[in-house]
Chain A
């Protein structure tokens, strides 16, 4: 028995939409097996994991709060991956964005003046993330250094930088030696959408970014260039598109979005800096980008789904004492299934009897 792949002439539309759904279904099926293997009633666990987060308004708000950074980062990464630029250091760009924006909040702490502060903080965060992302871009275009490895190494550097700042120069002097900064002034925190919730204007901002990116990808020359460089680099070179400039553009853009997500998280959801500011948003966003088929609107849907797994994982930890790592297992499995199902788009898969070729 062996697998044989036959290239398809064209991909039916139903399959394009169906393949991510099939991946999700396979993940849920695997979840049932894993829950049973860990000795839990699979239906109850499934309910806690995937239904409970959506069953009350608090849960729904939390899903939106968690989906916001995931989608913001993922739409940027999708541009990178489409053009064959493998930025996997979004986690570091997220942290540096949070640091850069918080720097302004801390510098004006005690004497905040004017409504310019928040927009300036957001701009600083985006700028910080973009500059940090340009390091691997520069090393790739100037020296040919592998961007996968350099961008990932910079994640560890960013984590240590954050650790040093919140334990050293930026530590709250009245914080009982906890590794965290002061709570930001009200002028330096992102306004809430409604009283009594955690939802802030970061979420509508994220929706705006998705809309803008959808237009950029589908309706502009830049969007065409990104797709062309990724799918037919030779043709792109003949058309006169510069690969170097494009690498810079997509790294800067994805870094800026990750940085924006970082400062929104710091100044909106957490309201101070602490080392555990991200539960791995930058890495999960990679899965969001692929599950969303590298399409901005797809990323939005995928981001909501992965946000549910985060909340579900927290619920399951409290109610079933399941380790939080189970969430990571599901996320890894999901990416496996997404990739496997995407093969169905390009090839017809058949099982053939007989020895391997």
Chain B
């Protein structure tokens, strides 16, 4: 395997959790809900995933537990913001704080427990293509799932009727309601889907990326996923570009630290965060004039009969 192939492989593994979480949040925001709790749902997924995997000895059950944990937290958020029409920003922050705390309690007994990570699956025939094969078709199942999510969500949002209705709820909930669509129920499904994706992204971190648990192991990835959604102008394939851009930066700065670049390692570690800020500014400049955000994003909806 060449060095370039090796670097590309690590970039893909670093980008996958960002991509999975960002796609989930993208659907949530397309439905008009801003869930800032991605970090909390992701780390809960990581903690529940490894806890279930170690207790049952089955990685598949770990993944299932992670997805369910993400959805459970999302359900709490949905009850507050949809059922009780609370401020979505504040409820999302609460979800992040709560998730970080609860994951620490759930994960405490599993600190330092090593286990074999989820292995890679080589797709026969395709993985033998020179260069592209080993990079794209000899990955762990999460990577394939992330590809499938991008394609599936793109198709759902722009090629299916349900996707059109979901986007309508995000653009103008009063009109969607007047047309007879159950705005709150559609938003609930979207929020739960976002929670499932964040949980899955968390499972990837604790079951495949670094197959052990450390408190706070998401390290701001949930927040970067939120930034990727903005960067992507709420389009799934652009979210994939954004996730790979951030994954690439993370890996390159790690390589730079390893190669002994004469810069403080802290400056290199700060690069992904600084570049997130820079990208947010640049994208707003490029988009001057045309607003891309769903029009009803972040506004609570209370149906009047």
B280 and A283 contacting across the interface, CB-CB below 8 Å: no
B97 within 8 A of partner (CB)? yes
Give the complex CA separation of A343 and B80 in angstroms: 9
Q: Which of B251-271 touch A at CB < 8 Å?
A: 264, 266-267, 269-270
B273 within 8 A of partner (CB)? yes
B223 and A149 contacting across the interface, CB-CB below 8 Å: yes
Q: Which residues of B contact A139 (CB under 8 A)?
A: 277, 280-281
State how many angstroms separate the Cβ of B189 from the closest Cβ of chain A.
Answer: 12
B274 within 8 A of partner (CB)? yes
Identify B86's interface contact among A164, A340, A357, CB under 8 A.
A340
Give the complex CA separation of A324 and B107 in angstroms: 12
B104 and A323 contacting across the interface, CB-CB below 8 Å: yes
Q: Which residues of B contact A328 (CB under 8 A)?
A: 97-98, 100-102, 104
Name A's interface SS.
helix
- Say which one of B17-25, B60-68, B87-95 lies at the interface with A: B87-95
- Say which one of A45-53, A110-118, A153-161 lies at the interface with B: A153-161
Q: Which residues of A contact B161 (CB under 8 A)?
A: none
A221 within 8 A of partner (CB)? no
Identify A336's interface contact among B91, B100, B281, CB under 8 A.
B91
Give the complex CA separation of A7 and B36 in angstroms: 26
A326 and B101 contacting across the interface, CB-CB below 8 Å: yes
B108 and A323 contacting across the interface, CB-CB below 8 Å: yes
Number of interface residues of B (CB under 8 A): 51
B85 and A327 contacting across the interface, CB-CB below 8 Å: no
B97 and A283 contacting across the interface, CB-CB below 8 Å: yes
**A327 to B, closest residue via Cβ:** B101
A156 and B102 contacting across the interface, CB-CB below 8 Å: no
Proximity string of chain A (317-340) to chain B, C-beta cutoff 8 Å, 1 when within and 0 when not: 000000111111111110110011
B247 within 8 A of partner (CB)? no
A347 within 8 A of partner (CB)? yes
Proximity string of chain A (6-39) to chain B, C-beta cutoff 8 Å, 1 when within and 0 when not: 0100000000000000000000000000000010
A145 and B80 contacting across the interface, CB-CB below 8 Å: no
Q: Which of A155-189 touch B at CB < 8 Å?
A: 156-157, 160-161, 163-164, 167-168
A124 within 8 A of partner (CB)? no
Give the complex CA separation of A328 and B40 in angstroms: 12
The residue in A148, A153, A168, A330 that gathers the most chain B C-beta atoms within 10 A of its C-beta is: A153
A347 and B266 contacting across the interface, CB-CB below 8 Å: no
Name B's interface SS.
helix
A211 within 8 A of partner (CB)? no
Given A164-B264, A325-B101, CB of A148 within 8 Å of CB of B94: no
State how many angstroms separate the Cβ of B15 from the closest Cβ of chain A.
Answer: 18
A286 within 8 A of partner (CB)? yes
State how many angstroms separate the Cβ of A103 from the closest Cβ of chain B.
Answer: 17
Give the complex CA separation of A333 and B108 in angstroms: 19
State how many angstroms separate the Cβ of A94 from the closest Cβ of chain B.
Answer: 16
State how many angstroms separate the Cβ of A195 from the closest Cβ of chain B.
Answer: 37
A238 within 8 A of partner (CB)? no
A5 and B85 contacting across the interface, CB-CB below 8 Å: yes
Q: Which residues of A contact B97 (CB under 8 A)?
A: 283, 287, 328, 331-332, 335
A88 within 8 A of partner (CB)? yes
Give the complex CA separation of A286 and B95 in angstroms: 13
Q: Which residues of B contact A248 (CB under 8 A)?
A: none
Q: Which residues of B contact A251 (CB under 8 A)?
A: none
Give the complex CA separation of A347 and B84 in angstroms: 9
Identify B305's interface contact among A145, A167, A339, A357, CB under 8 A.
A357
**A283 to B, closest residue via Cβ:** B97
Give the complex CA separation of A346 and B220 in angstroms: 34
List 4 tightest A-B contacts by C-beta distance, closest first: A332-B98, A328-B101, A325-B104, A335-B94
> Can you list 24 residue pairs at the A/B interface with Cβ under 8 Å?
A139-B280, A143-B284, A144-B284, A145-B281, A146-B230, A146-B280, A150-B280, A153-B220, A153-B223, A154-B277, A160-B266, A168-B264, A323-B105, A326-B105, A327-B101, A328-B97, A335-B90, A336-B94, A336-B98, A339-B87, A339-B91, A340-B86, A343-B85, A357-B182
Interface, chain A (partner B; CB < 8 A): 3, 5, 7, 38, 86, 88, 139, 143-146, 148-150, 152-154, 156-157, 160-161, 163-164, 167-168, 283, 286-287, 290, 323-333, 335-336, 339-340, 342-343, 346-347, 349, 356-357
